[in-house]
Amino acid sequence: GAVVSQHPSWVICKSGTSVKIECRSLDFQATTMFWYRQFPKQSLMLMATSNEGSKATYEQGVEKDKFLINHASLTLSTLTVTSAHPEDSSFYICSAKTRMDEQYFGPGTRLTVT
């Protein structure tokens, strides 16, 4: 299957700082990328959908000014958590959809805000 990578795999940052997470489709072009968040012992929650070259569509309750998404190319999307706080600590997972409508997930990024 296709491969999706995320960087970094884990990050610790101080409260009030911003963190950028990258999501790359390594061997295919992704028309659409998705960002999910997963808290301990819970399921994945869709945060936003991004299409290359256009603004992301955010799910209800997700602050677009706090979670900045940029999808500048068909192989790269970034999620920036701005002014992070401890409650933003979570497991962030991206996925990418192929032209054949297959969806592949990255390995996730664990964010800890101290």
Residue ranges binding another protein (CB under 8 A): 1, 4, 6, 34, 36, 43-46, 49, 91, 93, 95, 102-108, 110
Q: CB of residue 13 vs another protein: minimum separation in angstroms? A: 19
Query: With respect to another protein, which residue has the nearer C-beta, 87 or 101?
Result: 101
Taking the C-alpha atoms of residue 22 and residue 106, their distance in angstroms, rounded to an integer, is 10
Query: With respect to another protein, which residue has the nearer C-beta, 6 or 77?
Result: 6
Q: Which long-range contacts (CB under 8 A, 24 or more apart) does 38-44 make?
A: 38/90, 38/91, 38/92, 38/93, 38/108, 39/90, 39/91, 44/93
Taking the C-alpha atoms of residue 46 and residue 58, their distance in angstroms, rounded to an integer, is 9
Taking the C-alpha atoms of residue 101 and residue 56, their distance in angstroms, rounded to an integer, is 18
Q: CB of residue 73 vs another protein: minimum separation in angstroms? A: 21
Query: With respect to another protein, which residue has the nearer C-beta, 16 or 107?
Result: 107
Query: With respect to another protein, which residue has the nearer C-beta, 1 or 53?
Result: 1
Q: CB of residue 4 vs another protein: minimum separation in angstroms? A: 8
Taking the C-alpha atoms of residue 43 and residue 73, their distance in angstroms, rounded to an integer, is 29
